[in-house]
Structure 1
Amino acid sequence: MPQLSPLNWIFLFLLFWIAVLSMSILLWWSSKVYYRSVPTSSMSFKGNKWNW
Structure 2
Amino acid sequence: MPQLSPLNWILLFTLFWVAVLSVSILIWWSKKLYFSASSSTILALKENKWNW
Q: Which residue of 2 aligns with 1:27?
A: 27
Q: How far is the alpha carbon of 1:27 from its aligned partner?
A: 0.3
Q: TM-score, normalised by structure 1?
A: 0.64
Structure-1 residue corresponding to 2:18: 18
Aligned-residue RMSD, C-alpha: 1.7
Matched pairs, number: 39
Gaps of 5+ in 2: 48-52
* Structure 1 unaligned blocks of 5 or more: 43-52
Identity %: 68
The structure with the largest helix share of the pair is 2
**Equivalents in 2 of 1:2, 1:16: separation in Å?**
18
